[in-house]
Structure 1
Amino acid sequence: MRTLLGVGMIALVVAIVAPLGYRSMQTPSGSTASPAPVTPSSAEAPEPAEPAESPQRKRSGPVGEADGVVPEGTTVFDDGVPAVAGLDAALRTALREAATDAAAYGIDIRVNSGWRSPAYQDRLLRDAIGKYGSEEEAARWVATAETSPHVSGDAVDLGESDATMWLAEHGAAYGLCPVYRNEPWHYELRTEAIGGRCPPMYADPTQDPRMQS
């Protein structure tokens, strides 16, 4: 009798405890860890490189006094004018000596053109080509920037007509010589002429060996 009662009590305990143990083994609802949310990367994407600036095209603007354009009434004593200041020093000295002596005879030597920048010389050559219709004909009057003695400061165009006439007679004493027969106003320094005579003139610049380089 006691044995049956004991077995019954054990069965009753098992019946009560078993469901509780089964429930404790289950994972509570919602306790399953959800995957960590994917967060955007904190590293910013590199910004595209800015395009390099295109090089500026060189443009030739208008030429002016700084390029050798001569204001009206300029004399060989006007150091403030680049066309005069840019002349070779020996040429400028000879011009001033001649101008001082010419003034005693009422002769006023003016500078119509002296030193020129390459840009100014190029401009004059383009104008001459337009005027004379071809490079060949223009070359009789205007040299290139690479060969022009104006660009190097070794030539000067003088006026007025009475001044060039006076220099044609007396210029050799100062080493000042006309170089081209078609340009009686174009003078250069020829020191070997001092005390003697100027060398023979070329018909025009195309006959000058210096223009062939």
Structure 2
Amino acid sequence: MTYHRTRIRRRRAAALLAVLGAVAALIGHRSPPPIPSPTTLARQLTVAAGDHFHREPGSGALGTAGGALPDDASVFDDNYPGITRLDPDLLSALRRAATDAGAIRFVVNSGWRSPAYEDELRRQAVAKYGSEQEAARWVATGTTSAHVSGDAVDVGPTAADSWLAQHGAAYGLCQIYANEPWHYELRDGAATQGCPQMYADPTHDPRMQK
């Protein structure tokens, strides 16, 4: 009887140790950090790329002459081609909206870009997202981008994006891609008819299929 009870105690002790070990493993396990959303990654790409090129010596195709902008570049800044080489009607509409927005400051994170600068952003996007297909959802090529033609502007910060989402149509300023709330282009008739339906992302835009 004593031997039998001893065996039972040992089994119970072993089971208890196994349970405690499992609990300790669960407590000690750390989940991997969450993967940033595509929107967050795209914002980081735009800001990081512009910041990196802005700090390079000179102002060649991948510097300010190619469209790179410093942090907090105002829509009223006439010192950078990234702003001054925007389509005049787009820039005028953007400045009128920024004036009417009052205390909300409009920043141009990216405006006009040279083909070389756009292609470098595309290469960075491929490296970041792992494929051409995924990169195409966020960055166009030097031959298809509305930034290269001066017809697109990436606006920040979030307060400015939110203001434009509510009031931009009155100035003809429309968000074009659902995944890029900072990307605005000029659309005729938006003031009276509203902005056209957004594409899910640039891969759904026929202009990107050239």
Within 5 A, what are the aligned runs for 1:80-159?
A: 80-103=79-102, 106-159=103-156
1:69 matched residue in structure 2: 68
Task: Give, in whole Å, the separation in 2 of the partners of 1:191 and 1:111.
Answer: 22
Q: CA contact under 8 A between 1:68 and 1:113: conserved in structure 2?
A: yes
Cα distance between partner residues in 2 of 1:199 and 1:107: 25
| Cα displacement (A) at 1:68 | 0.5
Q: Residues 61 and 116 of structure 2 are in contact (CA less than 8 Å); yes or no, is this contact kept in structure 1?
A: no
Q: Residues 27-79 of structure 1, C-alpha deviation per residue, up to 9 Å, x if partnerless?
A: xxxxxxxxxxxxxxxxxxxxxxxxxxxxxxxxxx7711111001112111111
Query: Which residue pairs with 1:53 in the alignment?
Result: none
Correspondence for 1:205:
202
62 and 84 in structure 1: CA distance in 2 versus 1, 3 angstrom threshold: closer
Query: In the alignment, which residue of structure 1 is the partner of 2:165?
Result: 168
Structure 2 letter corresponding to 1:80: N
CA contact (8 A) 2:164 2:173 kept: yes
> How far, CA to CA, are the matches of 1:196 and 1:109 in structure 2?
25
Residue in 2 that maps onto 1:28 = none
> Counterparts of 1:190 and 1:171 in 2: how far apart (Å)?
10
Between the aligned residues of both structures, percent identity stands at: 64
Which structure's residues are more often helix, by fraction? 2
Q: Is the 8 A contact 1:175 1:189 kept in 2?
A: yes
Between the aligned partners of 1:76 and 1:162, the Cα distance in structure 2 is 15
1:79 is aligned to 2:74:
no
Q: Give, in whole Å, the separation in 2 of the partners of 1:80 and 1:152.
A: 19
Structure 1 residue 195 displacement after superposition = 2.6
Asked whether the equivalents of residues 176 and 187 of structure 1 are also in contact (C-alpha less than 8 Å), the reply is yes
* TM-superposition CA deviations, 1:175-194 (whole Å, max 9, x none): 00000000000000002101
Residue 162 of structure 1: SS of its match in structure 2? helix
**2:187 equivalent among 160, 185, 190:** 190
Superposition deviation, residue 197 in structure 1: 1.1
Contact 2:174 2:186 in 1 (8 A): yes
Deviates more, 1:112-121 or 1:188-197: 188-197
The offset of 1:80, in angstroms, is 1.3
Q: How does 1:15-94 map to 2 (within 5 A)?
A: 63-94=62-93
Q: 1:199 to 1:125 in 2, by over 3 A?
A: same
What amino acid maps onto 2:120 in structure 1? R
Report the Cα distance in structure 2 between the residues aligned to 1:177 and 1:67, rounded to whole angstroms: 25
Cα offset, 1:122, TM superposition: 0.6
The structure number with the bigger radius of gyration is: 1
Gaps of 5+ in 1: 1-60
